[in-house]
Structure 1
């Protein structure tokens, strides 16, 4: 086969580009070029009445680019993250915007600094706790550390933002680990007292307790689950949200009407993603 001069030049350019990629490596962060990440796309809208809660698991092997893709698949207006390292959330937020066209504001509810959880250096470890991503600006952020965190410091955060076109107070929490029922009971007492001050509130989080657990009674007294079939009863129709087939993750609602909810299994955490579409009108 005989090639003309222009065809030969194009082939040579293609070969040189391939050689450069092999020598230099992928330009996308975390090797995203070879991990299946898509290039930046035109900005698209979030679902304005959708909220999500997700314990993203730290430390875990999953990459932040994969976690961002999981969130982007459902494009919630508000996302409450638990076990959130600030550095990880910063990267997730960047990937959501640069790879998926979803721009979020962020507020952090860090309650401790822990090198074993979030890296950094022994003398300057990363911050660990909760975070809230919101497509709308947030105001009046607060972070409260529970008086007793149990085996690890725990707390809640709260912000005021917009869901379904209405202003609402959003809480995000992570309660004490399993087999610490008395500690969680005191934590929910503190949390419920604050939630009760608001006629309309959304409470996201990993409560480390099944719906019928006595330590959740203060929460059930003032809020309902986004799943109307899920109640504080052993025979309730609550879908599990963890790898060990327990429901620990909740979207609790006060003065808000649920429309739909979904639990999405994921290979990137030991907790599934839980999102709900809401009516605040």
Structure 2
């Protein structure tokens, strides 16, 4: 269990505000952290990492990371941090970047194999694509087998196809290592796909906290429309099948037939159209 009870004064776009966070997170959870820019998401990650100070307390299991008397250094906290800008050592090869964290060659080889980087292990960062650099960054963060993995919009600079691929790799590694993960994201489909719990901040305060479906789903009646979206999930409720679809920056649910549920594939781009209140999904 991770217990967070912290306060910190921040200077936002509208002047000073207080970051005031009280959270309990179960071990092994995947948390998506959302909210507008300047709401305190990145600062919260940095406080957890020990990169910024704050008042209050942070305990991870039976170990205290922060209280009124002490604050553990970054090196003393059992964390991995994946930055948006990769932060790789430019003078080290892919494998050397990993072994800098830990000399566990077997683990390094395993991570490179899982993320399909084995053939690039001797390549320097300046010869890698953005997606490859992000995979190296993720592997390096996991080399220390951290209790807490922090990710600050790690996929925001990548194209949609690469984002989708890395999302699956992040999820599989999260499950394999049993790491507690907190990820900042502005992408509702990414949050829905990866997280078990979504926490939304606004002006330093938690304004929403719940499972991804309850927090993200925004289904409203509408007039005639036709949109393309990505099929995220199909849920069966009694005898009804419901498609969860990402359209733009929103996630909606649409009732579909049993035949449609059998024919559709998760991740498929589908068309959602309606006349009055009778949607058709094709």
Same fold (TM over 0.5): no
What TM-score, normalized to structure 2?
Answer: 0.32
What TM-score, normalized to structure 1?
Answer: 0.32
